[in-house]
Amino acid sequence: MTDPAAVQVCGLRHRFGDATAVDGVDLRVAPGELFGLLGPNGAGKTTTIRVITTLLPPQQGTVEVFGLDVRTRQMAVRRLIGYVPQLLSADPALTGRENVALFARLFDVPRRERRARTAEVIDAMGLTEAAGRAAGTYSGGMVRRLELAQALVSSPHLLILDEPTIGLDPVARDGVWERITAVRAQTGMTVLVTTHYMEEAEQHCDRVALMHRGRIRAIGTPADLIVGLGADSLEDVFRSYTGDDLETGGFRDVTATRRTAHRLG
């Protein structure tokens, strides 16, 4: 039997009242892959991710994580996943080390392994020197890396990151990607990331899915999508699928940036 996909989404649909957020999504992420789910604000990316992480039950369609149905094996799925949401998940009053240790307890890292595991992920995220300081004193990039450490402390098989670099300056963004890439190289972990920074997706993702108005419009390696359309960049590919939506406020950068800036405010 072939190994199950890290994530298998079939015919997923999700409505909020009259609005359809996800409109028949099919998606397969292979084990070990770094997969990017791309799309403007409102495309349905976060809703899709919330179903994959078991935070929202699927209304229609099926979702499996390493062969486990999110509907019937919720707890088993949660144990396989590390999730960094867009919104705050670090406590500004706790030190970096205390924040990570808290996640180690929450995610049932065995007591005798907690201290070493906490130190290991803090080190992997380049936060050893700052680990004794309150997270409220961290820069935006450090907070992101702290949240990555929190998600990694339970050694997840699948790391899910919702807009990991939003609101960060280019140096901090590079720092976050550098750490993600290093952990992945070391562990072979599967990474599913949403981003609307096309150049980052082009540079770091093995494959991407372009999502727009609840549907997947294109899926493939960035290079194949670019060559397939005779485009110059992934940004061009995206524009050809989403049309004017990019200009008419599709990427509400400012709102999203503010949301991040206020996370620890």
Ligand X SMILES: Nc1ncnc2c1ncn2[C@@H]1O[C@H](COP(=O)(O)OP(=O)(O)OP(=O)(O)O)[C@@H](O)[C@H]1O
Binding residue for ligand X, selected from 6, 21, 90, 149, defined by CB under 6 A: 21
| Contact range with ligand X by CB under 6 A, out of 39-47, 117-125, 176-184, 201-209 | 39-47
Does residue 243 touch ligand X according to CB under 6 A?
no
Does residue 168 touch ligand X according to CB under 6 A?
no
Residue 265: CA atoms inside 13 Å, Cβ hemisphere, count?
8
Cβ neighbours for 113, distance < 8 A, ≥ 6 positions apart: none
Contact indicator for 11, 61 with CB cutoff of 8 Å: yes
Q: Of 16 and 254, which CB lies nearer to ligand X in the complex structure? A: 16
Binding residue for ligand X, selected from 31, 42, 85, 126, defined by CB under 6 A: 42
Binding residue for ligand X, selected from 33, 35, 47, 70, defined by CB under 6 A: 47
Q: In what order do the strands lie in the sheet with 158-162?
A: 81-84, 158-162, 190-195, 34-38, 207-212, 215-220
Beta bridge partners of 146: none
In the chain, alpha helices (H): 45-52, 74-80, 96-106, 111-124, 140-152, 170-187, 198-204, 222-229, 234-242, 253-261
| Contact range with ligand X by CB under 6 A, out of 34-42, 67-75, 90-98, 232-240 | 34-42
Q: Of 41 and 187, which CB lies nearer to ligand X in the complex structure? A: 41
Cβ neighbours for 128, distance < 8 A, ≥ 6 positions apart: 119, 122
Q: Say how many residues touch ligand X, by CB under 6 A.
A: 11
Does residue 212 touch ligand X according to CB under 6 A?
no
Binding residue for ligand X, selected from 4, 16, 115, 249, defined by CB under 6 A: 16
Does residue 44 touch ligand X according to CB under 6 A?
yes
Does residue 45 touch ligand X according to CB under 6 A?
yes
Both tokens of 184, joined, read 């992945």
| Contact range with ligand X by CB under 6 A, out of 16-24, 130-138, 145-153, 233-241 | 16-24
Contact indicator for 84, 151 with CB cutoff of 8 Å: yes
Does residue 260 touch ligand X according to CB under 6 A?
no
Contact indicator for 44, 244 with CB cutoff of 8 Å: no
| Contact range with ligand X by CB under 6 A, out of 2-10, 13-21, 108-116, 179-187 | 13-21
Beta bridge partners of 162: 194
Binding residue for ligand X, selected from 19, 87, 171, 185, defined by CB under 6 A: 19
In the three-class reduction of DSSP (H, G, I as helix; E, B as strand; rest coil), residue 37 is classed as strand
Nearest to 201 by CA among 152, 150, 151, 236: 236
Binding residue for ligand X, selected from 13, 23, 32, 41, defined by CB under 6 A: 41
Does residue 247 touch ligand X according to CB under 6 A?
no
Q: Of 166 and 183, which CB lies nearer to ligand X in the complex structure? A: 166
Residues found near ligand X in the complex (CB under 6 A): 16, 19, 21, 39, 41-47
